[in-house]
Amino acid sequence: MNLKIPNFSDFPLSKNPSEIIDVRSENEFAEDHIPGAINLPVLDNEERKKVGTIYKQISAFEAKKLGASLIFNNISKQINQHFLNKDTCYSPLIYCWRGGQRSQSLAVILAQIGWQVTVLKGGYKTYRSYVCQQLKTLPLQFNYNILCGLTGTGKTYFLQGLKQQGYQVLDLEKIANHRGSLLGEEWKNDIKNQPSQKYFDSLLLQKFQQFDVNQPIWIESESYKIGNVYLPESLWKKMKQSPCFELQLPLEKRVEFLLQEYEHLTENPEILKNKLRYLKTYYGWNKISQWNSWIDNKSWKELVQDLLVIHYDPAYRRSLKKMSSKIIKTIQLSDLNLDYLLESLS
């Protein structure tokens, strides 16, 4: 019997595979992976740790024996659970950390079954190198229009409206899963869920590759850091040099809008109090106590207005100076009216 071997491919891929399979452990996959890939670990977190310990403490030979046993047991389960319904045209791409034993273990078996299987040369490390290289140059090829304005002027809201009207929009806060401020963390059941820096890079590159370089990209004025992730230096450089359209909205309208947007915080006052404690260094315990009193009394409008005037508005003005963008147009809004914005931009 002739042993069928998988094909090998560089990244970016020349053909679209039926499926991209990441065979690394769950933790490796969670940190970063090719967008759209599925995770079928041939060694899970605990198994990988166990094999690694034996490799270091006993010998490579003993580690390989255990690894082979675990890998083929896992592959057997995966064939029954995932591959039995695949037709003869199925052609997956498989990768592990370096394109070595883990990916080739699954790839060889699938190739023997009769599928056209491809292994990514160099594995995830090849992909990660590609992402880093692309993010150094690709953002520099685009032109940007920056939407800026004080907190609560609806910048993200208007970006979504522009996208619906066919404008190219890069929503960095959506990709970062963070609204870019002390209270901007997105959370469910108190669990932080920002992507890692590496996966943020992957998602950002995926978005850039969908854009038309001949059309400008609309983007919100952001800091170099959004929550725990950083923008690529190339993108930050272009943003600082790009024209800025400043939105202005009456203070009371901004307060109303923010109370709608941050309803999850008013419904969880203790979380809100804990977040505001981080501002003690800047404003002292007396101010923190006043904010806590408003929270206890559900005086939400007073709280939000004071936070805007005392903290957010001065911070915005400082950040705008760092951006060094030129405000080429100021758009005075009476409410969150997308039609008026579109008319002002035309």
Q: Which residues are catalytic?
A: 96
Task: Of 142, 126, 169, 180, give the one whose Cα is nearest residue 12.
Answer: 126
The bridge status of strand 19-22 relative to strand 38-39 is parallel
Distances, alpha carbon 11 to alpha carbons 108, 230, 259, in Å: 20, 24, 46
The bridge status of strand 225-226 relative to strand 229-230 is antiparallel
Structure tokens at 104: 């080739």
Kindly give, in sequence order, each residue whose CB lies less than 8 Å from that of residue 271, ignoring residues fewer than 6 positions away: 190, 265
Question: How many distinct helices (H) and strands (E) make up the chain?
Answer: 16, 14
CB-based burial, 83-98: b 16+ in 10 Å, e otherwise: beebeeebbbbbbbbe
Residue by residue, what is the 3-state secondary structure of 270-297? HHHHHHHHHHHHHHHHHHHHHHHHHHHC
Counting Cβ atoms within 10 Å, is residue 324 exposed (0-12), middle (13-18) or buried (19+)? Answer: exposed
Bridge partners for 217 per DSSP = 144, 168
What is the phi/psi pair of residue 137, to 5°? -120, -40
- Residue 303 near residue 309 (C-beta atoms within 8 A): no
